[in-house]
């Protein structure tokens, strides 16, 4: 189900260097922007929200779900999954994140199905480990194929 719900063009492994958290947010939202899910302001909104509220979207060690409010540039609901072999430090007490799941939710209802399918996969810590070690987009897709 998750495999069918996610735009596969929003999945990638970002292995071209070390990223500061702001650069990582811009990199992942770029995928959403290029596919018409968000406006260029969305990355700025996530960065501003993080600066004001802290890295509230670091969900557990190794996993972050950067997002901002729908009115800050979301054009349609989408979800990007990006693996960073070099962990990104958001300044969270949970530590850095290798997996960034960038959420663009048009409203509070339309993304619930995707989040439910995603949480089924992420409830198993082994899947988080597998995602963090994925070396290619194809490996990420293979992991989510079961969900």
Residue 67 annotated to the active site: yes
Q: Which residues of 19-28 are buried (b: 16+ CB within 10 A; e: fewer)?
A: bebbebbbbb
Q: Per residue of the chain (147 residues), what is the pLDDT tens digit?
A: 788 889 999 999 999 989 999 999 999 999 999 999 999 999 999 999 999 999 999 999 999 999 999 999 999 999 999 999 999 999 999 999 999 999 999 887 777 878 888 999 999 999 999 999 999 999 999 999 988
Domains of the chain: 2-146 (3.40.930.10)
Q: What is the DSSP letter of 141?
A: H
Among 8, 67, 82, 111, the active-site one is 67
**12 neighbors 21 (Cβ within 8 angstroms):** no
Strand boundaries in the chain, DSSP class E = 11-13, 58-60, 62-64, 78-88, 97-104
- Residue 136, SS3? coil
């Amino acid at each position: 189900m998750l495999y069918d719900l996610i735009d596969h063009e929003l999945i990638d492994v970002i292995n071209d260097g070390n990223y500061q958290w702001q650069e990582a947010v811009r990199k992942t939202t770029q995928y959403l922007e290029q596919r018409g899910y968000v406006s260029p302001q969305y990355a700025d909104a996530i960065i501003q929200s993080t600066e004001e509220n802290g890295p509230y979207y670091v969900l557990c060690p190794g996993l972050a779900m950067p997002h901002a409010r729908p009115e800050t540039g979301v054009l349609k609901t989408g979800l990007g999954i990006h693996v960073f072999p070099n962990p990104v430090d958001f300044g969270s007490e949970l530590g850095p994140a290798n997996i960034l799941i960038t959420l663009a939710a048009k409203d509070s209802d339309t993304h619930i199905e995707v989040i439910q399918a995603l949480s089924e996969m992420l409830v198993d810590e082994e899947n988080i480990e597998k995602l963090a070690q994925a070396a290619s987009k194809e490996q990420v897709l293979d992991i989510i194929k079961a969900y």
